[in-house]
Amino acid sequence: MGRRSKRIAINGFSELEASIMNLVWKSNKISVREIHEILVKKEYLPYTTVMVTMTNLANRGILKQDKSGKTYYYSAKISRLDAAEAMIHGVIETVLQGSPEEVNELLKRFR
């Protein structure tokens, strides 16, 4: 077997994960409650859904989880650009199967 890459595998974010990550990237550290208070203004969202989603992001190595008293605070473990790079790398490797021609064709579509 080959060596495992240290690259974090990010196949993409759900809409909720992306919303959470955008709020985390805007702050140094933020609690579940703070995230929930912002998101619930847009639409009803159970607190536990936000909590579980943030815990899952931490378990995947995307968020760092620190406990201060009874409150968990979260910060980004990876930058926005590193997350985007990991997602694009995943598309190149899994969807385009590393084909340089198809990668070039895809990039031309973004110009």
**Is there a single domain that holds both residue 37 and residue 84?**
no
Q: What is the pLDDT of residues 14-44, one digit of tens each?
A: 999 999 999 999 998 999 999 999 999 999 9
Asked if the structure places residue 93 within a domain, the reply is yes
| 15 Rama class: left (phi>0) / alpha (psi -120 to 50) / beta | alpha
Residue 1 forms part of a structural domain? no
Ranges of beta strands (E only) in 19-62 are 30-31
**Site of tokens 């990010």:** 10
Tokens 């895809």 belong to residue: 106
Q: Which residue range is the domain that position 27 belongs to?
A: 13-77
pLDDT digits (tens, 9 = 90+) for 62-105: 999 999 999 999 999 999 999 998 888 888 888 888 888 988 89
pTM over 0.85: no
**Same domain flag for 26 and 72:** yes
